Chain A
């Protein structure tokens, strides 16, 4: 079925045909339309699922875990502060090894209050044990919902997956996308067969006290699951292409990279914008290519080593920041390449809090990077505005007040 819909609504339709049975969710901008549409699909009898209107994101994730432990295919969606509020239960979901799927509509974290796109929310959840995939188009988010269940429910993996979709750029813009029929999708992801369930015939306690003598192995096992996922992710992407004829990459996606001397590395919709920048630079005769990191967890270590070998320049785009260090993707890329690649790498930070990033800006920064004109890390779109001026004026006034604490107006 061909739909002309917003990214958010497409996620809801994808969850429907994926055979999702339980949806615990709490609304938050810019995710709200995902769960509104799911509620509407259930209410109108088009989706056979239970919707649980929880009182918080913390509870949404708790219900997500519980639903999955009964053997149901469970799904949720959140964003930004909602994801942050889930933090404790994100660890729980990964620790209890439930194959749940959640769409996170990437949004900045306050203060100041900002509903627009950056990756700070999901990057802050890097170490929870969830797999993380970043999509770059409307069609990709639909197809990734199916691939996600294919990967998470594989018995060698059994870890939750977060599908990250950029706020507004993808969530609120309308594009046409193919949403397959339920029967077609069911052939790709048959009914979820759990490894164990909450079942009175076999009562167990899960997650009670685990002593230092036993705990570490449960965590090592999560890493083994992530390692297995590398294989399953590739298989899932290949099988998806065979069945549906669409390809969005597996661990990574490359674009005009084969003969590229310079490689730009990016995630999410900025990678789509980078494709335009690559085209523009190619027209000027520059040998530039894109490497899109699709899966951030598990991180594409071997793929990066293979793709970066022999390049002359690498520029990494971050839409997030690890304060006191640098952009998180930049750190991870360098960690993967340490001792394996001699190309200089530079990090740029752009698009924070939803600032528009144009292909011209990316192309300009890439040119500077190639010529060695960039610092190690560059905030690529810094500007001073009238709002910043207000803050500075306020600070001047505070200085006057605080210098004369006895006086009041």
Chain B
């Protein structure tokens, strides 16, 4: 336990962790799908993803947390990422 005295200084701190808001991939309406043929591994998508849902190695998209904002598809210089409408009940 902390050596701080109870409520003398109680403020709202939290440690960084994965998925504090739950499986945010559930929020997704459009799913980014990468075409490995077109991808030149430039890492622009990795840099731009606001949720850190694209792995640096191989740019694998984490569909458990990706909210489908589409920034990666917008920024991709080779149009390797397409936004595909999610079909209800078929989320991965």
Contact = CB atoms under 8 A, between A and B. Distances in A.
A96 B13 contact: no
Contact of A205 (B7, B8, B9, B14): B14
B14 A208 contact: yes
B16 interface: yes
B72 to A, nearest CB: 24
B8 A206 contact: no
B1 interface: no
Interface residues of B, number: 12
B92 interface: no
Interface residues of A, number: 25
A48 to B, nearest CB: 30
A196 B14 CA distance: 13
A210 interface: yes
B15 interface: yes
B12 A208 contact: yes
Contacts of B12: 95, 206-208, 210, 214-215, 218
A158 B16 contact: no
Contacts of A186: none
A199 interface: no
B10 interface: yes
A156 B8 CA distance: 7
Contacts of A209: 20-21
Contacts of B20: 208-209
A224 B11 contact: no
Nearest to A205: B14
Interface string A209-235: 110001101101100110010000000
Nearest to B17: A205
Nearest to A221: B10
B9 A220 contact: no
Contacts of B11: 95-97, 206, 218, 221
Main secondary structure of the interface of B (DSSP, over half): loop
A225 B9 contact: yes
Nearest to A202: B15
A126 interface: no
B16 A224 contact: no
Contacts of A203: 15-16
A46 interface: no
A246 interface: no
A221 B9 contact: yes
Contact of A217 (B10, B14, B15, B21): B10
Nearest to A155: B9
Contact of A220 (B7, B13, B16, B21): B7
A195 interface: yes
Interface string A272-292: 000000000000000000000
Interface of A: 95-97, 155-156, 158, 195-196, 203-210, 214-215, 217-218, 220-221, 224-225, 228
- Which 8 pairs show the lowest CB-CB distances between chains A and B? A221-B10, A210-B12, A221-B7, A204-B13, A205-B14, A217-B10, A207-B12, A218-B10
20 contacts: A155-B9, A156-B8, A196-B13, A203-B16, A204-B13, A204-B16, A205-B14, A205-B15, A206-B11, A206-B13, A206-B14, A208-B14, A209-B20, A210-B12, A214-B12, A217-B10, A221-B7, A221-B9, A221-B10, A221-B11
Interface of B: 7-16, 20-21
Given A209-B21, A221-B11, 18 more contacts: A95-B11, A95-B12, A96-B11, A204-B13, A205-B13, A205-B14, A205-B15, A206-B12, A206-B13, A206-B14, A208-B20, A210-B12, A217-B10, A218-B11, A220-B10, A221-B10, A225-B8, A228-B8
